[in-house]
Homo-oligomer: A and B are copies of this chain.
Amino acid sequence: MTLEARRIDDLFPREHLQPPGAEGRTVRIVAGGEAAVPDIPRGSWQRVFPLQHERQLIRARHSIYRAGDILEGIPVVHSGWAARIRRLSDGRRQILSFILPGDLVSAGAVFSDRLSFFVDAITDVRTTVCKRVPLDEILAQSPRLLHALMAGCLAEKTEVEELATDLGRRRAEERIARLFLQLRTRLEVLGQVSGMSFDMPLRQQHIADATGMTVIHVGRVLGALRNDGVVQINGGVLTIADLAALQRLSDA
């Protein structure tokens, strides 16, 4: 009963998502680094949520959705990175979460069609949209799936609560360290981490908007981390040089 759905891996072909050979075609249920619970029967997602329309391409740095938009379906990011963002009228931005390949844009989208945030493409992004289905129909067809979806929704909420704690009570270095470790964990599940490095298309501005800092200060902290031999970013690749140190920073 602790299923949590944020990623629906068998929602679409896995060219980018899965190393060949891994053919366990169950819905993979993953949340914030916790245990995967692969016991939803194969294909339950597609059976319950039929495809509404195929892939759509959004160019890097463009908005995918805007706050107030009414979703006609449940969007899933197929490839590329995106971000859920809140904007203030004077231009300040807070990134609420990063959306990686295979993620639902928001678990809440299964149950509600009104967005309270913006979704911006960071890299080029391909999306798929599935049909939203009434609650009772989901329940009838796959009770486990419904549970998993609701748990995913709760997990998303918990993650935002962690974010709020980071923003309110942790300092610059800690926040950046935690962001990097979180990204590594999530990308590891996707098989996109090789050793201590992974592709990281975020600009310093994205890191700043996610951690509640200014770009310039992000630059300084990153510089310090590089000098101290903890983390470095080179050509869009993040390399953790001293994992223990990074974990120490993110602790408490």
Interface residues of A (CB under 8 A from B): 2, 86, 88-90, 92-94, 96, 108, 111-112, 114, 116-117, 135-136, 139, 143, 146-147, 150-151, 153-154, 156-158, 160-165, 167-170, 211-212, 251-252
Contacts and interface: CB of A to CB of B under 8 A. Distances in A.
Given A88-B165, A136-B143, A169-B212, 4 more contacts: A111-B150, A117-B161, A163-B164, A167-B168
A165 B97 CA distance: 12
A136 B138 CA distance: 11
A70 to B, nearest CB: 11
Contacts of A170: 88, 92
Contacts of A150: 111-112, 135, 150
Contacts of A211: 168
A2 B156 CA distance: 20
B143 A139 contact: no
Contacts of A160: 157, 160-161, 164
A136 B96 CA distance: 32
Nearest to A160: B160
A185 to B, nearest CB: 17
A112 B212 contact: no
A30 to B, nearest CB: 17
A168 B135 contact: no
Given A116-B158, A160-B160, A165 B86 contact: yes
Given A136-B139, A163-B164, A112 B252 contact: no
A162 B252 CA distance: 24
A139, A165, A169: residue with the most chain B Cβ atoms closer than 10 Å:
A165
A169 B167 CA distance: 9
